[in-house]
């Protein structure tokens, strides 16, 4: 069985890759994250993933679109409800790539994050799978989140401080500002 793993970043992906390989899957990484901004953040995450993939022999497909304008247009009408649009952009692209590439299934490293809306993420992935006629391989990787972060630190990986979009970065700073008051 070969699966396409949409990857948001190397720190989130390392445990997902290990689990899938242990379960007998041939894993190919897929980089498509038009939500990550600014460009320096996008480049840092992408380059870290490139280096990690090379170090573990992970085939990596890159849809290397820095998508500031399309992302902002997609979420501008409902910034607070942006996550569903963000998940859709990435998971529909992954499902399409899985179909076109002849993969048996697809999944995402997003399923490791305790900060993501897991049920919404799963619903979007299932809709994408149905639309493209591919199998969505569901795994709840959240119990492995801390181990993945620890491994990322051990390997000297770049570890981000927010999910990727400028609005999540803004929320991070607003929360810090409230704490300082």
Binding residues for [4Fe-4S] cluster: 8-9, 83, 86
State residue 25 phi and psi, 5-degree precision: -90, 140
Structure confidence by residue, pLDDT tens digits, 37-90: 899 999 999 999 999 999 999 999 999 888 889 888 988 888 888 889 999 999
User: What pLDDT, on the 0 to 100 scale, is given for residue 178?
Assistant: 59
User: What pLDDT, on the 0 to 100 scale, is given for residue 176?
Assistant: 60
Binding residues: 8-9, 83, 86
Helix runs in the chain, H state only: 10-22, 39-56, 68-75, 82-101, 118-132, 145-154, 166-180
Confidence of residue 147 (pLDDT cuts 50, 70, 90): very high
| Residues contacting 23, CB < 8 A, separation 6+ | none
Give the separation between CA 28 and CA 119, rounded to whole angstroms: 24
Domain boundaries in the chain?
2-180
User: What pLDDT, on the 0 to 100 scale, is given for residue 181?
Assistant: 52
Question: pTM for the full model?
Answer: 0.93
At the topology level, CATH places domain 2-180 in Rossmann fold (3.40.50)
Two tokens, residue 51: 């280096």
pLDDT for 12 beyond 90:
yes
């Amino acid at each position: 069985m070969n699966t396409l793993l949409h990857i948001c970043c190397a720190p989130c992906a390392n445990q997902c890759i290990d689990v899938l390989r242990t379960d007998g899957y041939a894993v190919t990484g897929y980089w498509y994250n038009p939500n990550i901004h600014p460009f320096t953040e996008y480049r840092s995450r992408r380059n870290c993933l490139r280096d990690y993939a090379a170090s573990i022999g992970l085939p990596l497909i890159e849809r290397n679109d820095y998508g500031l304008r399309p992302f902002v247009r997609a979420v501008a009408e409902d910034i607070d409800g942006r996550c569903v649009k963000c998940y859709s952009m990435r998971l529909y692209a992954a499902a399409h790539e899985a179909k076109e590439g002849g993969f048996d299934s697809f999944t995402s490293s997003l399923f490791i994050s305790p900060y993501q809306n897991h049920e919404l993420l799963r619903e979007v992935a299932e809709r994408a799978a149905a639309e493209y006629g591919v199998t969505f391989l569901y795994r709840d990787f959240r119990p492995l989140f801390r181990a993945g972060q620890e491994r990322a630190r051990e390997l000297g990986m770049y570890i981000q401080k927010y999910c990727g979009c400028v609005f999540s970065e803004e929320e991070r700073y607003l929360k810090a500002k409230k704490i300082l008051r």
